[in-house]
Amino acid sequence: MLPILLLLALPASGKSEVCRYLAHLDDEIRAAEMHLGPLVLLDDYPYVLFMRRASQELRRLGSHPVLFSDDKEPMPDPRIWGTLIELLNEDYLALETAQTPGRGVHDLFARIDAAATAAGAPPAFSMLDPELLAAVADALEREEAAFSRPSPTVPLSAKTSVLIEFARGGPRGTDSRMLPPRGYRHSLSLLRPEILERAAILYIWVTPEQSRRRNRERARPGGDASILHHHVPEQVMHEEYGCDDLAWMLDHAERPGTVTVTTAESTFHVPAVRFDNRADRTSFLRAEPEDWPPRAVAELHAALSAAMGGLQR
Cα-flanking dihedrals φ and ψ of residue 213, to 5°? -65, -45
Same domain for 297 and 172 = yes
Burial class (CB in 10 A: 0-12, 13-18, 19+), 295: exposed
Cα-flanking dihedrals φ and ψ of residue 272, to 5°? -150, 145
Question: In which element (H, E) is residue 15 found?
Answer: helix 15-24
Mean pLDDT of 93-100: 82
Residue where a domain stops, chosen among 153, 182, 198: 153
Give the domain range for residue 242. Answer: 1-38+157-313
Same domain for 177 and 139 = no
**Statement: residue 229 has pLDDT above 80:** no
Residue where a domain stops, chosen among 114, 136, 153: 153
The pLDDT value given to residue 16: 93
Please report the DSSP string for 227-240 in residue order. TTT----HHHHHHT
Contacts of 177 (CB under 8 A, 6+ apart): 185, 245, 248
The pLDDT value given to residue 143: 84
| pLDDT tens figures, 180-219 | 999 999 999 999 999 999 999 999 999 999 999 999 999 8
**Statement: residue 102 has pLDDT above 70:** no
Mean pLDDT of 101-127: 91
Query: How large is the angle between the packed helices 45-60 and 80-97, nearest 10 degrees?
Result: 120
Same domain for 95 and 69 = yes
The pLDDT value given to residue 64: 86
* Total domains, the chain: 2
Q: What is the CATH number of the domain that holds 289?
A: 3.40.50
Same domain for 276 and 232 = yes
The pLDDT value given to residue 176: 85
The pLDDT value given to residue 155: 62
- Please tell me which residue, 96 or 280, carries the higher pLDDT value: 280
Same domain for 50 and 33 = no
Same domain for 275 and 193 = yes
Same domain for 232 and 149 = no
Same domain for 63 and 197 = no
Same domain for 131 and 252 = no
Same domain for 297 and 259 = yes
Cα distances (angstroms) measured from residue 178 to each of 58, 85, 140, 151, 278: 33, 17, 35, 35, 22
CA neighbor of 77 nearest in space, from 191, 179, 181, 233: 181
- Please tell me which residue, 228 or 293, carries the higher pLDDT value: 293
Residue where a domain stops, chosen among 113, 131, 153: 153
Question: Are the beta carbons of 44 and 87 closer than 8 angstroms?
Answer: yes
| pLDDT tens figures, 127-175 | 999 999 999 999 999 887 777 665 555 667 778 999 999 999 999 988 8
Question: Are the beta carbons of 281 and 297 closer than 8 angstroms?
Answer: no
**Statement: residue 226 has pLDDT above 90:** no
Please report the DSSP string for 246-273 in residue order. HHHHHHT-SSTTEEEEE-SS-EEEEEEE
Mean pLDDT of 68-89: 94
pLDDT band at 223 (very low <50, low <70, confident <90, very high): low
| pLDDT tens figures, 251-276 | 999 999 999 999 999 999 999 999 99
The pLDDT value given to residue 44: 94
User: Within a 10 A sphere around the Cβ of 15, how many other Cβ atoms?
Assistant: 25
Can you give the pTM of this predicted structure?
A: 0.94
Mean pLDDT of 105-128: 95
Q: CA gyration radius for the chain? A: 19
Same domain for 186 and 142 = no
The pLDDT value given to residue 220: 75
Same domain for 255 and 199 = yes
